Structure 1
């Protein structure tokens, strides 16, 4: 049971721009009705890219979740409907919703490989998730305390942090930089009273954006997470140049991360990667020499890192859709196949010997809700394996890195 004073004040007026994408989707209905593939086979032709331009006017809140989506969630929670009721209870019972949480900012967040050393890495990521959690809690409950706690966390970090260092610095910047704008968008555009919002914007512009906008030639999940951060930050800052650059990076990385048989005998390579020749590509794909629809560059590394990549792809496409530049149509076949292939084996199907030597490691994580909702519920694509895994994992919680509460925010969400 939630305790404390609850504000009855309504959120201030939200600025929203019409997406205007119905015409772009109308020609895709044939593709949208295709069943989900569960094995290697011919893939649908790639969809022509939509126009690569930042919106003339950004939609706020508009990073991963929009105002209509938040209103849908709030209504479902208030009505006690499932799975949103259980997902909300899970979030509110987590450490991230604690009103006694004390932020732990530092000027230099030093993160080595696998966060060793961990000098502020976990603190930063978890404070960002807490700020986003509190922002969601504010919107659903209208309890001012959660908005104020979110602001406290964001203000603490924007007053102190100067840099990320050591080998995992780019990835750390991407993970935290993906979550901070989600919280900031909700608070800035639905709550009255954040005096230090400008300082927070300066933090994103000076500490995070210069790192993540450059991208990375490391494993694909690095660049995808960094690109997610760049796009979310660009929306919050209304930085059209950075937004367009991040979209261009996304368009080069996704085809190089998820294989389709229409790519040919070998996977595509990301622009500027320097990869060439079968041996180099096979090595980059973790030694996998047999390619099948939905295989990712990291499937044979482990499913956990694969989940990071798939999640970032879904998040970027979702934000682009909210901003009126829907990237789902051009990546939907790759995302559909990637979700389907990984979900099939997560649900217990035997792994064939020509896939990662007949063995897959680890777990995909709570990463399927956003992509499943977009492709299955909005576009009508049959996704049997992904649906089974998504429903089995509900309510999806958090990976304590950059994924949080996506059953609550995106399960069956039509907005």
Structure 2
């Protein structure tokens, strides 16, 4: 056993000791202190929060006139063919999250009630999520609804027990079965998406077994989406040879998972010698126009994928993926992230450019960069 392998295994063991503790609530992407920090910056009119808040308020998914569009069956196939309800499912989740943030900042009950209206619409309608992309739909939409629901549940007294139980039933009986078996041989962004939502399900339902399963799978599980497997030691990503948008998805989903774990006293950010940090800097360096070392990726089950060259596809497409990791590694840990900071200068404020990503990351995760 090499020294690095021993240290990595020891790290996982230390994290495991933290399992079994009581959940922090609210405690997914945002704790109470996070929300209060964001609120104070918005009310003070400070940047970059003011610009990010203005962007949120100008969005169509922030309006109290917004109407959810629930489907009985969400049927989403490869390359979104067909797409019956998939777009609406994800968009309504983003809208519910946006309403919850507005409720917290402005304390206008109409926003909390609008979030509940969206929860109820889907909880009382949805029967199944089917077809090839079903895991991606639940993985990318679920985290949005659940973060909204966590805020509403613990900060607003008007969500009735009946309505909350209906939402919980949908989560555990319709969503969870879709993603519980993971997609370990697919591209890594799939399980990264699954994992972030499974973690949220565990927290929201106070199901420690579900949360722990997700943490362990995303750390060193047999999956292309685990931190151990998604990155080589130099930061090269499993999908670097595919295209840079999908790489940014994997990075963003894993950063969400790491932030959720962090708020529950588990440090996935530091797993395998800060492997996630290396993935962000490697990708940001390449997207900044510089060259990076690259070899053909071999999956955890021994399959070569893509080719020996890093993919230039979507090299200039900056997605809203960067704020959360920068805040942790740079602001909390004092680690230099020069290339990631370059990406933030181009992506800020991070809004709803792509439905797959959590919206409003500049608003909820930005801090003053100590440059």
- The two structures have a TM-score, normalised by structure 1, of 0.78
Instruction: Name the counterpart of 1:257.
Output: 230
The Cα offsets for residues 212-242 of structure 1, whole Å up to 9 and x where unpaired, read as 2211121111011001110011100000111
Q: Distance in 2 between matches of 1:413 and 1:205?
A: 39
Aligned to 2:305: none
How is 1:149-298 mapped onto 2 (pairs within 5 angstroms)? 149-195=114-160, 196-217=163-184, 218-251=186-219, 252=221, 253-260=226-233, 293-298=234-239
Q: Report the more deviating stretch, 142-151 or 74-83.
A: 142-151
Across the two proteins, how many residue pairs are aligned to each other? 341
Is the 8 Å Cα contact of residues 282 and 292 (structure 2) preserved in structure 1? no
Higher helix share: 2
Q: Which has the higher contact order (CA 8 A, sep 6+)?
A: 1
The alignment status of 1:407 with 2:362, answered yes or no, reads yes
Report the 3-state secondary structure (helix = DSSP H, G, I; strand = E; otherwise coil) of the residue aligned with 1:208: helix
Give the corresponding residue for 2:15: 51
Q: Distance in 2 between matches of 1:44 and 1:315?
A: 26
What whole-Å deviation, never above 9, does each CA across 1:318-367 have from its counterpart, x for those lacking one? 11111122222225621111111111122222567868636421135110
Which of 236, 243, 250 is matched with 1:302 structurally?
243
Check if 1:382 corresponds to 2:341: no
Give yes or no for contact 2:294–2:310 (8 Å, CA) kept in 1. Answer: yes
Structure 1 gap ranges (5+): 1-41, 261-292
| Change in 2 beyond 3 A, CA 1:318/1:353 | closer
Determine if the alignment matches structure 1 residue 341 to structure 2 residue 282: yes
| 8 Å CA contact 2:189, 2:247 repeated in 1 | yes
CA distance in 1 between partners of 2:158 and 2:295 (Å): 57
Match of 1:392 among 346, 351, 357: 346
Paired residues of 2:51 and 2:349 also in contact (CA < 8 A):
yes
1:43 is displaced (CA, Å) by 12
Q: 1:78 and 1:206, CA in 2 relative to 1: closer, same or farther beyond 3 A?
A: same
SS at match of 2:309: helix
Using a 3 Å threshold, how does the CA distance of structure 1 residues 44 and 357 change in structure 2: closer, same or farther?
A: farther
Is the partner of 2:151 in helix, strand or coil? helix
Give distance in 2, aligned partners of 1:148 and 1:351. Answer: 49
- TM-score, length basis structure 2: 0.87
Say what the alpha-carbon RMSD is for the aligned residues: 2.1
Q: d(CA) in 2 for partners of 1:56 and 1:45? A: 24
Alignment gaps of 5+ in structure 2: 297-307
CA distance change for structure 1 residues 396 and 158 in 2, over 3 Å: closer, same or farther? same
CA distance in 1, matches of 2:259, 2:294: 35
Q: How does 1:314-329 map to 2 (within 5 A)?
A: 314-329=255-270
Q: Which has the larger radius of gyration?
A: 1
Displacement of 1:376 after TM fit?
Answer: 0.7
CA distance in 1, matches of 2:32, 2:273: 24
Question: How many Å separate the matches in 2 of 1:350 and 1:131?
Answer: 40
Aligned partner of residue 192 in structure 1, secondary structure: coil
**1:360 corresponds to:** 312
